[in-house]
Structures are given as C-alpha cells and as structure tokens.
A and B are shown apart, each in its own frame.
Chain A
C-alpha cells in the first residue's frame, strides 16, 4: 500500500487489519522494523515536498523524502542536513523513527535533536503536531514507527559555505592507539569515525581514523570553491547477486586493501561531502552486495569505561572465523530524550557479519551479555536477533514507551515484526 498524501495515511491507519500496519520508507533498516507479517505495510515514499526558508535554514519536509533528495535541494543553497547516517538513501520519516546518528553525534546528537516540529498521524487516524519535550515526541524519536506515522517534519539545517569537507586521515596499527587517539582528539572535530580491520588475518583492530569538518569558503582556493552537490554513482549492483560473493577470503582481502590504500597521515584534504559521508552510496543499491541472505549487522554502544568490549568482540568473531565486511567504530556524545533512542555516551561498534558461520549465534549471545553487563545496548534499526530480555535490560525507558504505546494505540493498529519479536 502506497501513501501519497496525509488522507491516505489516515485511511490506512483507520482501516488497519488485525495484525496492524507499519510505515516503510526506503527499507534500509537491517532487521525487521519495516516488515509486518500478516499485516499491512504502508510505503511512505510517496509523501514528498520540501519547503526551505533559505534565510533561516529551516526546512519543512515530507516524511517520504530521502536525505538524498533533501541534500540535492538544500546544499546548493548553503544548507546541510545536520545529521546523516552512512547512506543518504533513508527517508526523513525513517531517520526520525530510528533516531539515526552520524559521524557528528559527539557534537550534534541524533537526527531528532534537529527536528523542531513533526506531524504524526496517530493510530486513530488524527494528526498531531509534536514539539521537542512532548512525551509523544520523545516516544516517536527512535520509536521505530510504533507511535504513529510521521508525515512531515521541520528540521533546522546547518549553514555551510562550500559543499566540501576538510578531512584529516590517520592510520593506526592497533586498536589501542586508535582508540587512544579517538578519546583524546575527537573533540577537536565535528565529524569523526574510524574504520576497523576485522578480517580474519592481519593485526586485529588496526584502523583508519577519518575526521573533519565542513570546509569554509575562506579555506578553499577559488577554483575549488563550490556549493554544488552532484553525487555520482560509480556502479549499480545488479539485482541478482549470488550468495557467498562476500566470504571470509574476499572480505579479508577487501579489508587488507582498504587498510593499505589509506595514508599513514594526511591533513586538510578537501573531499566532496558525498565522498566523506556516504562512500557506500557510490555503488547504487549497495545493499544488494550482501546477497539474498546471509549477513547481519551487529551494533552496540558501551560506556567509555567498557572500551575492552570492542577488542573482545573483534577477538571473539575472529576465533570462529567470522570476518566483518565493514566495521565502524565511533564515540557517541550525550544521550537524547528519545525513549528508545540508541545512542548514549561511549563507544559504538558496528559490524557486518555473515550469518552462516558456525557458532555465530552463541558468540553474539555471549557478546550481548557483555553489553548488558557494561550498561550498553544494541541498535534497534540494525538488530535482527536480540532477545526481548536483552532489550528489557538495556533500554531503561522501555516501560515508559510501552505504557505510552498502550495508551495511544490500545488496539495495536501499528505493529511490526520487530515489535512482535521484542515485545515492544
């Protein structure tokens, strides 16, 4: 079912079948939050419309608009989407529902920290405007679409004077020195993220730290000064990718190549914002690379004091011969008000791992216990396997969320596979 206007959203909610309805944007969540077996899935990508006030940088945007589309409109006018995940191919509605974060979380917080108003279609079919501080706003930020369907939002954009990033790159031969550099130096940069080698050979945890900020026009030579935003794609991944294309050997080789191509140290390199923020988007439909089955994402955050969990995770996965295709390490800043928002201060590690490796289920269950014990949590937008118990022990505001959901949606008009799997 596709919605192209607010009335259709309301109608979909009022006529929800017994197993409910869930909004779906561009389907970039790695697990089951936008699936609803036996029920209805509402495609919101037909909700379009962007209205930018180019003096204030406040944009009113429909929920089905992708960050890609938003950037194409706003960047040339000197405004940047303040929080962007590793791909632009997510909708504004999805960014709110998962309360996504970017490389600047330690400075700027999550996506919803920049949302000044949102219109939510409630389960009873009525619309309500929500503002920061509202209980329902906080339940919707990171609420995985279970409080209603976001139809529109006001987002405060960030002023920029070029569409370039000034990037510093550092290569580290081991995890300890990488993490030490991040702990001491991240605060000097708006954007920071580390790529970690999690192949099955080579020094475990060696990595590349990429940090930067928007380049100011004054810092850029005239001939390079631009606000143009024209992300190209190098290739499109075909629809049919065989299983097993990404295997232990190919992943380890790709990790090795990536590490070797990085400079030991480079300062003030000018990169396009798209190369800096969204390297994956260079390949259109990159998500197909994983094949029809066989990969999962595992992303946790643990407090600063539990940095050892990062090392332990890499070791455990190597022990069973599981290589991670894309491993990203980052430090989070403060916790936001979203009841089910993922980020909290500390280290977050994201891994892409094949599911077919024997022993994987047990290793991840053990790692869950470490995350629980250290006071961390797993990211709902990436989860496809945690247990309801893990969720309960790691999201302290879950009971508040459940109470609010019971209140506004007593008949469970909104439901998803994720909600059923985890008793949200």
Chain B
C-alpha cells in the first residue's frame, strides 16, 4: 500500500536500467519500501542496481525482460506480481534512435516502434489488468514532449511516443474510479546515455529532475507531468505554431 506520506511499499520497473529509473529508485528507497522488481535485459548495470537496492528490509526480484518481445511479457508480468500487490509500476524502457539511421534502415524504425509503442501497450494493458484487480496502485509511463508535435528531425521517435502517450492517457481515463492512478510523464531533453552526443536543447534536464517530478506527481496524483514544468507552456505554444513556420524552427 502507498502510505499517508505517499511512500510505496512495492515498486516494479520495466526498463529498470534506464538512468531515470535508477534515480527514481534511489528516491523511493527507505524504511517503507520493501519489495522491488527490476525488469530489464541482463546486464552488469542491472545486477549492480539490484545489489545497491537490496537491504535487510527490502528484497529485490530481478526479471529478464525484453520490451521488443511481447510474447514473453505475460510471464514476466506474472512474475512481477507473484509476491503480491505492486504499488507503483513504471514503464521506463524506450529507444531514441536517430532519424538518419531510421532513414537508412527502415527496419530499425519498425524496431523502435516495436519497443516504444507496442512494448508499452503490451506491458501497459497487462499491468492495468493487475492493478484493476488489486484496486489500488499507480502506473507511471515515461512519454516525451517529442510525441506532442512531430518534428522532421526525430519524427519516428516522436510517433512512437505519441502512440504511447495517447495509449497511457486513455488508459488513465479508463481506470478512473478504480483506485488506480495512471501518470503520463513528458520530459523534454534529458541528459542521459541515450542522448549522449546530441546537442542539448533548451530547458534540458537531468534524470534526477525527472525522478523528482515523478515523486512529486505521485504525491499529488497528477495525470500528466512535464519536466521541467515550464515545458507545459512551451509545448502549449508550440502546438499552435502554424506548420509552415514550425517546419523552419531550429528545434
């Protein structure tokens, strides 16, 4: 159960080796948290994370998880909920890709859509069924402002996040009144290994900022969280820029 101070007792992260997930888990750890599920592809990072989170009062379950293989998801989700209720579930996986590579190899664009959108729907639907059954809990979905308006420079990535975002937003409404809280997180440019080497966009943030925003959003039961919060107004403006002008913007 999430307690009166908004602290979960159990958390499951799909795509647990992302830097945002790591920052978030550091913030959630404490005497209240006693069950952690890390679902990710096998890697030393995953094992190190598990070791760093394991304490006398918190157990860690590590699950092999491949976002691009929906057939394998039911078993992973069964395993994630095997020990009981999960208070906070986070969908943190995703690939950014690079528009030039997508152009050169269309199959890689399909692969990105497979991971970001299809994987998100696959995990999201199954987790939602579990949460509806337990009658409480939060589902945090990492979307992106890139999904709000297509840009020529990364429209494949943007489209995968757009699909995921609409999915999660609708899911949130579908679960309204069930005791389950769905929160869509739309960060701007986040400085992580995923964006390493890319020119930094204005209003860029670090993984810690995103994690802080998630913790705060969970506390206030927000449906949509922008990181930084000012990004909400920037995007609101950008949505209304005429297309002929938007196309020429250096973003």
Contact partner, B85, options A355, A364, A384, A420, Cβ 8 Å: A420
- Whether the Cβ atoms of A38 and B134 lie closer than 8 Å is yes
Interface string of A388-424 (1 = CB under 8 A from B): 1100000000000000000000000000010011000
Interface string of B1-16 (1 = CB under 8 A from A): 1011111010000000
Specify which chain A residues have a CB less than 8 angstroms from the CB of B34 in the assembled complex: 387-388
Contact partner, B30, options A36, A355, A361, A421, Cβ 8 Å: A361
Interface string of A269-293 (1 = CB under 8 A from B): 0000000000000000000000000
A373 at the binding interface (Cβ < 8 Å) = no
- Whether the Cβ atoms of A387 and B31 lie closer than 8 Å is yes
Contact partner, A389, options B57, B134, B179, Cβ 8 Å: B57
Interface residue total, chain B, C-beta cutoff 8 A: 19
4 shortest A-B CB distances, which residue pairs?
A38-B135, A384-B4, A37-B135, A37-B136
Interface residue total, chain A, C-beta cutoff 8 A: 23
- Whether the Cβ atoms of B136 and A38 lie closer than 8 Å is yes
Q: Which residue of B lies closest to A362 (CB)?
A: B30
Specify which chain B residues have a CB less than 8 angstroms from the CB of A36 in the assembled complex: 135
Q: Which residue of B lies closest to A420 (CB)?
A: B1
Q: Which residue of A lies closest to B137 (CB)?
A: A37
Interface string of A260-271 (1 = CB under 8 A from B): 000000000000
- Whether the Cβ atoms of A387 and B179 lie closer than 8 Å is no
What is the distance, in angstroms, from A55's C-beta to the closest C-beta of chain B? 47
Q: Which residue of A lies closest to B133 (CB)?
A: A38
Q: What are 22 A-B contacts defined by CB distance under 8 Å?
A: A19-B135, A36-B135, A37-B1, A37-B136, A38-B134, A39-B135, A360-B5, A361-B7, A361-B30, A361-B32, A362-B30, A365-B30, A365-B31, A368-B31, A384-B3, A385-B3, A385-B5, A385-B7, A387-B31, A387-B34, A420-B85, A421-B3
What is the distance, in angstroms, from A115's C-beta to the closest C-beta of chain B? 30
Specify which chain B residues have a CB less than 8 angstroms from the CB of A39 in the assembled complex: 135
Q: Which residue of B lies closest to A385 (CB)?
A: B3
With contact pairs A37-B179, A387-B57 given, residues A32 and B31 touching in the complex (Cβ less than 8 Å): no
- Whether the Cβ atoms of A385 and B4 lie closer than 8 Å is yes
Q: Please provide the chain A residues from 347 to 372 with a CB less than 8 Å away from any CB of chain B in the complex.
A: 355, 360-362, 364-365, 368
Q: Footprint of B on A, CB under 8 Å?
A: 19, 31-32, 36-39, 296, 355, 360-362, 364-365, 368, 384-385, 387-389, 417, 420-421
Specify which chain B residues have a CB less than 8 angstroms from the CB of A37 in the assembled complex: 1, 134-136, 179
Known: A384-B3, A385-B7. 9 other contacts (CB 8 A): A19-B135, A32-B1, A37-B136, A37-B179, A355-B5, A361-B7, A365-B30, A387-B31, A417-B136
What is the distance, in angstroms, from A252's C-beta to the closest C-beta of chain B? 22
Contact partner, B134, options A19, A296, A385, Cβ 8 Å: A19
With contact pairs A387-B31, A389-B31 given, residues A421 and B134 touching in the complex (Cβ less than 8 Å): no
Specify which chain B residues have a CB less than 8 angstroms from the CB of A296 in the assembled complex: 4-5
Specify which chain A residues have a CB less than 8 angstroms from the CB of B4 in the assembled complex: 31, 296, 355, 384-385
What is the distance, in angstroms, from B74's C-beta to the closest C-beta of chain A? 20
Specify which chain A residues have a CB less than 8 angstroms from the CB of B9 in the assembled complex: 421
What is the distance, in angstroms, from A154's C-beta to the closest C-beta of chain B? 35
Interface string of B131-157 (1 = CB under 8 A from A): 001111000000000000000000000
CA distance A361 to B179 in the complex (A): 23
Specify which chain A residues have a CB less than 8 angstroms from the CB of B85 in the assembled complex: 420
- Whether the Cβ atoms of B136 and A387 lie closer than 8 Å is no
Specify which chain B residues have a CB less than 8 angstroms from the CB of A32 in the assembled complex: 1
CA distance A31 to B136 in the complex (A): 15
What is the distance, in angstroms, from A416's C-beta to the closest C-beta of chain B? 10
CA distance A364 to B133 in the complex (A): 32
Q: Which residue of A lies closest to B136 (CB)?
A: A37
Q: Which residue of A lies closest to B33 (CB)?
A: A387
A19, A361, A368 interface centre (most CB from chain B within 10 Å): A361
